[in-house]
Amino acid sequence: MPEYSSTFSAESYFSTQPPPPSLEHDIAGVKEFVRRQKERGRNVVLVTSGGTTVPLELNVVRFLDNFSAGTRGATSAEYFLKAGYAVIFMHRQFSLQPFSRHYSHSTNPFLDFLEIELDIEGPSASVVSDEASAASQICVTPNKREALLEVLTAYKAVHAAGTLHTLTFVTVNDYLWLLRAVSQELSVLRRKAMYYLAAAVSDFFLPRQKMSEHKIQSGKGSLHIEMDQVPKILKPMVDDWTGKDGFVVSFKLETDPSLLVPKAQTSLQRYGHQVVIGNDLNRRKFEVVFISWKYALPPSSTSDGTNTTESNSPFAESWLRIDPHDHSKEIEEKIVAELVKKHEVWVAGAETL
């Protein structure tokens, strides 16, 4: 491997940091999935979801994590499936997944709505014995049946259609290697591929060459760790890995609301993709902002997109909102509906959205 340097371009990252051991196997599965969807003429969306970790040791005991439960990704994946897309769901191991997210162990544990119904021919219901459990059946609590049936029907239909392919990552290194390889596989679909990057990706990491092999010992007082910047991969993703044809949607998470729109605009300008969805940490479940291009393809002029007045700004800004108190609605339904419309225009080959 080439020598390690402390600033990483995407290229130097991949030539100095090792791929995850499962990469080849994972990509063989993706290749086959994409081939089948291409044969059927389906649009395919890659949804990334959940947070990446940064291990501090090679034999990892401690790691830094990025905030994300995986709600945005798992919920959006369901709406994309409903809209007829095939979905590659690339998520952080053990974060929420489409369909099973409705029965998360912490918010809606499934054991709580299952009931044991004892066989009337069997032993008395008041006696819990091995014999009784052998003669009993498991039933769903009546008032939970309708919702479960709806989720289960959609889940079984997706399985039967073979339109959902799941991949997992844990570390930021797993994520970067997978993202590159999956994007390259998906690029054969040209404009029919969408990339929906909702995962919360670490900005800093410890290169393998700097990591301690064993658990960092605590006897020496405070701990000082200098981390390197994770390379900005959106540019190579847009220009190279997806062959410039993919419809790329990235997310921008901020906690200072005044930064949301300018940071999303800067990101769109810098990477030249199609849409940035901005969300504020505390309002993300009921409000997001779409930043896209107002006129045509990203301007390739010398303008850096700053110092523009509202009327000559190249950016379109549109807010999507739902009622924060109405828990029967999910903002991802609106996000996905809006993206499907924009993607249709993109697939048709138009230069404008």
The residues binding ligand PAZ (CB under 6 A) are: 68-72, 198, 200-201, 251-253, 279, 284
Angle between helices 23-39 and 172-186 (to 10 degrees): 30
CB under 8 A, 24+ apart: contacts of 202-205: 202/51, 202/52, 202/53, 202/54, 202/64, 202/66, 202/172, 202/230, 203/229, 203/230, 204/54, 204/228, 204/229, 204/230, 205/54, 205/172, 205/173, 205/230
Least distance from C-beta 333 to ligand PAZ, angstroms? 14
List beta partners, residue 210: none
Nearer to ligand PAZ, 69 or 189 (CB): 69
Nearer to ligand PAZ, 79 or 251 (CB): 251
Least distance from C-beta 210 to ligand PAZ, angstroms? 23
DSSP H helices, the chain, are: 10-16, 23-39, 71-82, 130-134, 145-161, 172-186, 234-236, 257-271, 331-347
Least distance from C-beta 106 to ligand PAZ, angstroms? 13
Nearer to ligand PAZ, 201 or 206 (CB): 201
Nearer to ligand PAZ, 9 or 104 (CB): 104
Least distance from C-beta 128 to ligand PAZ, angstroms? 40
Ordered DSSP codes for 87-106: EEEEEETTS--TTGGGG-TT
Nearer to ligand PAZ, 189 or 340 (CB): 340
Least distance from C-beta 144 to ligand PAZ, angstroms? 24
